[in-house]
Chains A and B, each alone.
Chain A
Amino acid sequence: EIVLTQSPATLSLSPGERATLSCRTSQSVSNYLAWYQQKPGQAPRLLIYDASNRATGVPARFSGSGSGTDFTLTISSLEPDDFATYFCQQRQYWPPLTFGGGTKVEI
C-alpha cells in the first residue's frame, strides 16, 4: 500500500499570502496524484489531477507540481474561501486507492 504523507498538518496564513502544501508518497506514483479541497460539512472537491492539471472551474491561483514521490499544491494568493482542508490522493497503484492525512489551511 502506498502511504501519502502531507505536511504541514496545519498551515496558518492570512488572506493574500501564498500557501505551499506538500504531499510525499512512499514510492513513486509517476504523476498520478490528485488534490481535493474540503470545507467543514461539505464533500471534497477536485482541484488538481495528474499532478498539475486544474479541474474544471478551479481558479488559476491553484497550481500543482511534482512527480515521482514529491508533490506540491500552491495557492498563489489566499482568498477567504480557500481556508479549508486539502487532501492528496494517488491512483498509480491500487487497490487500495490512498489519501494523505490532510493539511488544514487556517487563518
Chain B
Amino acid sequence: NAGVTQTPKFHILKTGQSMTLQCAQDMNHGYMSWYRQDPGMGLRLIYYSAAAGTTDKEVPNGYNVSRLNTEDFPLRLVSAAPSQTSVYLCASSLQQGDTQYFGPGTRLTVL
C-alpha cells in the first residue's frame, strides 16, 4: 500500500491564482481530512469528509473540496492569498475519530 499520497510536494502561486492540491489514499478509508500547518505551529483542520459524497468545512472561505470517490480528496484554493502560504497535510482514517494516517504534505507559497 502507498498509504496517503499528496502532490505536488512544493508549489509557488501568485495572488489571485487558483490551484488544486491532490490527495489520495489506497486503504479504503472512509474519513479524510485536510489540515494546514503554519511555521512553528500545530495543525489546523480545514475540511473533512466522513464518506464519499459528503464534506464539511472548519474554516471560512478560500478553500473548496470534493469527495467524488473513496480514494481522492482534492483541496482547491479558489483565489490564492498570501495568508494561505502554509504546509497542507492530508490525512485519512477508517472513520472519524480513528487513528489518522498522514501524507507527506504540500508546501505552498503564495506571493
A-B interaction: no
B interface, CB within 8 angstroms of A: none
A interface, CB within 8 angstroms of B: none
